[in-house]
Structure 1
Amino acid sequence: MSEPSMVHRVTVPAESAGDRLDRLLSAALPALSRTRIKALIEAGCVTRDGEPAPDPSAKVRADDAFAVQVPESTAAAPMAQAIPLSVTYEDDDLIVIDKPPGMVVHPAPGSPDATLVNALLAHCGDTLSGIGGVRRPGIVHRIDKDTSGLLVAAKNDAAHAGLAAQFAEHSIERVYRAILWGIPAPRTGTVDGAIGRSPQDRKKMAVVGRGGKPARTHYRVQRVYGLGAALVECRLETGRTHQIRVHMATIGHPVLGDPAYARATPARRRALGASGEAAAAFPRQALHAAVLGFRHPANGAWVRFESEFPTDIKKLVSSLESVER
């Protein structure tokens, strides 16, 4: 472990006896996110009487004295790459990006670079949030590679903690707009269904009866295109993997172009007439993160950002308008 740049000392008050270690430390050290506290504990950077502290869920005792060593940030494994970004908003605490379709958020097998992480490293440099002692963008939520739209990243641990808390309590305003196959009935509704790995295909998510995470999506039809498609607004209460894609497929109206959860069946193509082939050929899920609203973690002011459809979905909508009625 490298030399620490700072050591914080925390003594457990009597009223906090029995609390989880990570929860106690994140409350005592608000400049560090709970995610980072956990990473520091697991890395041996938190000690009690000179011995490494137990795991993050360990219960603390009154008068326990902990030392929290915060190492200097080290270079992130991903390399900075000068990739153009569409920046919707930026200040000293956070940055809001309008992500294009096709861009992966984090490096992963098959996508080692040219990700949003690489671009943010080049754009923000040393201002980025350090998490677990590693300097990297403080991304607190993700959107799929082929979903376009708004995403926020934190530039420091205090902002990261503030944003992460809002996501955890579901107070973030997140509105997506999607083109669906068919027309949902009723035209306004809520889909409740826990989401987990599909038992039939582990690469997919599904609404499951056991082992999933609670998920809720509110939807509202904004426009219909004949009998074959609809423009729908979806508001998230939760943010599970593939949530909108899975929930809309579950009610029989998957996102048009979705390679995992939708099929351009002959019946669906016929329902769109002359626009059916263009719709069937759309190369990605027609899903866009259009609105993002939250309390600014530095001053508590409500901020809200909007994004228009990117060019490819605009062209799709233009084609579908020929069957609108």
Structure 2
Amino acid sequence: MWKKGLLVLIVGIGVCLGFQVLGEKKSNQPLKVIVIFHEDVGKFLLETFKEKADQPYDIIRMSSGEASYNLLTLGKTGIDVVLGGPADLHEQLKNKSKSLRYSSASAGSIPSKYKDAKGYWTGMYMGALAIGVNQTVWQQDPQLAALPLPQQYEDLLRPELKGKIEIPDPETSGTGYTLLASVAQQRGDRAAIDLMQALKKQSASMTFAGNTSAQHLAEGGLAAAVSFLSDQLRFKNSGYNISSFIPPQAGWEIGAISILKGGNNPAAAKQLVDFMLSKETQTDYMNTAFSFPLVPNILVNPLLAPVKLENLLAAYRFDLAAQQHEKLLNQWREALE
């Protein structure tokens, strides 16, 4: 009798393990990836992954705010991976039970402060907010040519810059929300809302995504803009006459990757995380992303060599930015009324 019971137990365990293994089998369906950073960089990375892993993919380009709205507000499902975007977005996904735990072996060398302790997200790169200046526009503007270049956010409020600057919208842009949340953590909510409102009134427009502000700056439509430094350096590398300044107590991001619940291809999603955190991929990515690597012993892009990070708000907390997301945005909306 006991032998029969043992046989049933073994079969039962085998069935359970079979379901687990089957659940981890790579699907024939494309891996669906939301990419928060530049689409061309995302395609390059995913094409390389496709060649290495024989895994087709669908790329969905969104800003951080779009991703938050689609995944959290609308409850969109069927997405496998969120690639890039500030860690506070990934914290929101974790807090709302939208993401899966996965601690890649490749993440072992990444310092603990740049990844979730339980494995819900892992940092891939670090970037800082910066004030970008189009030197050509600045020097050719008779109202600006004699003025010192802006070194802090308040410098952008000079009357001579009215209509000549741009900031990203904190509701739709992770860059804009990082600006709002970091100032709030440093100065308090009311001061942050007041500063953002003043910058909005000073701006020619508010952009949907942070990299759009950098693009407008490069194209000569603006004298100055706030965006992540990496977006400004991307255009500087292409020959545009842009100078960048990290303001005192500037906010910063950890660009992260996380796997979502409800995806159709969890096995391939884990492979993509491993791929993105590998030293080879990180080296290739840092040559095009103009961000600071988190994986040790990877050389930074030469354009980042002179950048000093002492001005960053060292105490900036991504978990707090995630927790206060709705509160800060509600205060922002109320101030617009």
- Give TM-score scaled by structure 1 length: 0.22
Indicate the structure with greater strand content.
Answer: 1
TM-score using structure 2 length: 0.22
